[in-house]
Amino acid sequence: MRGLSFLLTLTSLISPLCSLVVARTCTLSPLGHGRDDTEQVLRAIDECGSGGRITLNEGNFNITKKMTWDLRNSQVDLFGKLNFPPDIQYWLNNSSTYRVVFIQSQASWFVVTGSDFVVDAHGQGGIEGNGQPWWEYFQSHTREDGDGRPLSLTVFNATRGTIRDFTINAPPFWCNAVANSVDVTYDGMKCNATNTNASFFGQNIVPNTDGIDTYRSDRVSLLNFDITSGDDCLAIKGNSTNVLARNITCRGGNGVAFGSLGQYVQFNDIVENVVLEDMQMIRLNASIQPNMVSGVYFKTWTGTVNGVPPTGGGGFVKNVTSRRVSLDRVDRPVHVYQTNGGSSTDTPSSLQFSDLAFEDWTGTADTTELVDIECSPAVPCPDISFSNFDVTTPENAPPELICKDVLSVSGLSGEIHWSYSSEV
Ligand SMILES: *[C@@H]1O[C@H](CO)[C@@H](O)[C@H](O)[C@H]1NC(C)=O
Ligand SMILES: *[C@@H]1O[C@H](CO)[C@@H](O)[C@H](O)[C@H]1NC(C)=O
Ligand SMILES: *[C@@H]1O[C@H](CO)[C@@H](O)[C@H](O)[C@H]1NC(C)=O
Ligand SMILES: *[C@@H]1O[C@H](CO)[C@@H](O)[C@H](O)[C@H]1NC(C)=O
Ligand SMILES: *[C@@H]1O[C@H](CO)[C@@H](O)[C@H](O)[C@H]1NC(C)=O
Ligand SMILES: *[C@@H]1O[C@H](CO)[C@@H](O)[C@H](O)[C@H]1NC(C)=O
Ligand SMILES: *[C@@H]1O[C@H](CO)[C@@H](O)[C@H](O)[C@H]1NC(C)=O
Ligand SMILES: *[C@@H]1O[C@H](CO)[C@@H](O)[C@H](O)[C@H]1NC(C)=O
Ligand SMILES: *[C@@H]1O[C@H](CO)[C@@H](O)[C@H](O)[C@H]1NC(C)=O
Ligand SMILES: *[C@@H]1O[C@H](CO)[C@@H](O)[C@H](O)[C@H]1NC(C)=O
């Protein structure tokens, strides 16, 4: 006993001393008066980003250049907004952004990397993406993957990192991506991509404003999200494993995506052990955002090696559960297809979906097509299960339930339209 209490006393004496010696603190406020804040923010990260604490006070930090925060054993308290001015031609120049997210060579203007860090925006800070002029610009310019539209917050090559109570307003492109990372938690993320120019009411001018894309990452938690988007609320891309998403509100857009997968012939995309729970899909006023497409959907490219970079990748998706999902006038609650970007003469995909569970779904669809599962004839889907799937069709019309190249499905009530390709 005496030994233990002595030890406790010793450590409680030592640890405050250590933190006095080691922990550095940096506190800064926006410079204002049209000045550029990029340098002072980067200097603070440099001075206090290793074993220290950084406070960015309220106000708009004018961030005019690409920026990486390399954080080691440190915390950033972001009360202010990182404001990325909409200098579209500047940001579209390749040298103005990073290309760390390999898939589709997406551009990033702000990258957080490192280990054992917390970025806490305390429900008031985050990123101002100034997306409105971007969305309007791309009404008359072609959008392509990798065209340089910057994603707002990229967590890359990170280990044990937390992003907390963070708001991203008006992202020009994807709101978030986490890539090549392990043990990353997002707890409290609000993204809002909403067109406010009446000339475009009734149209979706905010495609590609995904809430978050996960790629090449293991053990990722996505908690307490509120995403207003014209595209995927969450997109689980290749090599995302052990992902937990909980309490996710998706306002408008495409719903939660698994994919696209199999986009690169040289890679297998592996997605395994994913739980999505307590999700709600909310249809918005059609003037503001016309789309509310799916609850959860799964998509792959075909097996044909096509285009540049060549498509036709394999892999698998298994053990995915989506539970307690509530829908508000969704077009097609559950959708699986393996013909993204393909034609009818293509080789079927070799990427197999299996062990997909849909539990405790409620709410409304605005078409009768509740479930449309169309697997690849090369690798038909086993173990698809539904339980308490209680989604209402308009005027309670009989639901359409489509199972193509599905090996086994359980728990669906209603008449299932089965079909198999000749290969099965
Ligand atoms: C941000 O800084 C740039 C470069 O100094 C300046 O031209 C621009 O006006 C500033 N923007 C804001 C909103 O202060
Ligand atoms: C892109 O940025 C680089 C570096 O600032 C510059 O040298 C080049 O002229 C820019 N290219 C265009 C097309 O503006
Ligand atoms: C910009 O970089 C992307 C990705 O590296 C590349 O595909 C594209 O050709 C580059 N564009 C220019 C104009 O250099
Ligand atoms: C990833 O992080 C590790 C250490 O944390 C570093 O050594 C490595 O260079 C980083 N890789 C890239 C591509 O940034
Ligand atoms: C998103 O932004 C729009 C336009 O500013 C606003 O009307 C709407 O309330 C916001 N949505 C959320 C969920 O905050
Ligand atoms: C809205 O978009 C129209 C069409 O591009 C443009 O002419 C107008 O200036 C925009 N309105 C505002 C307030 O930016
Ligand atoms: C769910 O997330 C929202 C933010 O989107 C938050 O306000 C709410 O408190 C969360 N609910 C629970 C039960 O944690
Ligand atoms: C996913 O991981 C597997 C090995 O586990 C690897 O062969 C494959 O190339 C990876 N795919 C991607 C997209 O990185
Ligand atoms: C399926 O995934 C869940 C959640 O990650 C995990 O707890 C469970 O062990 C996995 N089941 C199998 C058979 O791997
Ligand atoms: C939808 O939004 C438009 C544009 O703000 C507004 O005029 C209209 O009243 C809204 N409709 C409903 C049903 O709220």
Residue 300 pLDDT exceeds 60: yes
The token pair at 284 is 């918005």
Query: What pLDDT does residue 6 have?
Result: 36
Which burial class, exposed, middle or buried, applies to 221 when counting CB atoms under 10 A from its CB (0-12, 13-18, 19+)? middle
What is the average per-residue pLDDT within 317-323?
98
> Which pLDDT tens digit goes with each residue over 367-376?
999 999 999 9
DSSP tag of 104: G
Tell whether ligand 2 has an atom less than 6 A from the beta carbon of residue 93: yes
What is the average per-residue pLDDT within 87-114?
98
Tell whether ligand 9 has an atom less than 6 A from the beta carbon of residue 88: no
Tell whether ligand 5 has an atom less than 6 A from the beta carbon of residue 192: yes
What contacts 28, CB < 8 A, 6 or more positions away?
40, 41, 44, 54, 55, 56, 57
> Which pLDDT tens digit goes with each residue over 245-280?
999 999 999 999 999 999 999 999 999 999 999 999
CA–CA dist 49, 70 (Å, integer) = 7
Ligand 4 mean position, distance from CA 370 (Å)? 45
Residue 285 pLDDT exceeds 70: yes
Q: Which amino acids are annotated catalytic?
A: 231
Residues having CB closer than 6 A to ligand 1 are: 34-36, 62, 64, 85
What contacts 190, CB < 8 A, 6 or more positions away?
126, 166, 167, 168, 225, 226, 227
Tell whether ligand 9 has an atom less than 6 A from the beta carbon of residue 270: no
What is the average per-residue pLDDT within 112-117?
98
Atom number in ligand 3 closest to CA 94: 1
Tell whether ligand 7 has an atom less than 6 A from the beta carbon of residue 249: yes
What is the average per-residue pLDDT within 43-65?
98
- What's the mean pLDDT when you consider all of the chain? 95
> Which pLDDT tens digit goes with each residue over 135-150?
999 999 999 999 999 9
Query: What pLDDT does residue 370 have?
Result: 98
Residues having CB closer than 6 A to ligand 3 are: 94, 99, 105, 146
Going by their DSSP bridges, the two strands 384-392 and 352-365 should be labelled as: parallel
Percent of the chain past pLDDT 70, that is, above it, reads: 94
What is the average per-residue pLDDT within 24-51?
98
Ligand with an atom nearest the CA of residue 247: 7
Ligand 6 mean position, distance from CA 202 (Å)? 15
Ligand 5 mean position, distance from CA 127 (Å)? 15
Confidence of residue 4 (pLDDT cuts 50, 70, 90): very low
Confidence of residue 1 (pLDDT cuts 50, 70, 90): very low
What is the average per-residue pLDDT within 75-81?
98
Residue nearest to atom 12 of ligand 5 (CA): 192
Residue nearest to atom 11 of ligand 10 (CA): 285
Residue 220 pLDDT exceeds 90: yes
Phi and psi at 20, nearest 5°, equal -65, -40
Residue nearest to atom 10 of ligand 6 (CA): 197
CA–CA dist 256, 230 (Å, integer) = 12
**Residue 80 CB coordination number (10 Å):** 23
Confidence of residue 21 (pLDDT cuts 50, 70, 90): low
Residue nearest to atom 13 of ligand 4 (CA): 157
What is the average per-residue pLDDT within 412-421?
95
Tell whether ligand 6 has an atom less than 6 A from the beta carbon of residue 396: no
> Which pLDDT tens digit goes with each residue over 396-408?
999 999 999 999 9
Range 4-419 classified under CATH 2.160.20.10: yes
Tell whether ligand 9 has an atom less than 6 A from the beta carbon of residue 275: yes
Confidence of residue 23 (pLDDT cuts 50, 70, 90): confident
Residue 15 pLDDT exceeds 80: no
Residue 9 pLDDT exceeds 70: no
Ligand with an atom nearest the CA of residue 288: 10
Confidence of residue 7 (pLDDT cuts 50, 70, 90): very low
CA–CA dist 392, 366 (Å, integer) = 9
How is 112-136 classified by DSSP, letter by letter?
EEEEEEEEE-TTT-EEE--HHHHHH
Residue nearest to atom 10 of ligand 3 (CA): 94
The token pair at 309 is 């970079």
Residue nearest to atom 5 of ligand 2 (CA): 95
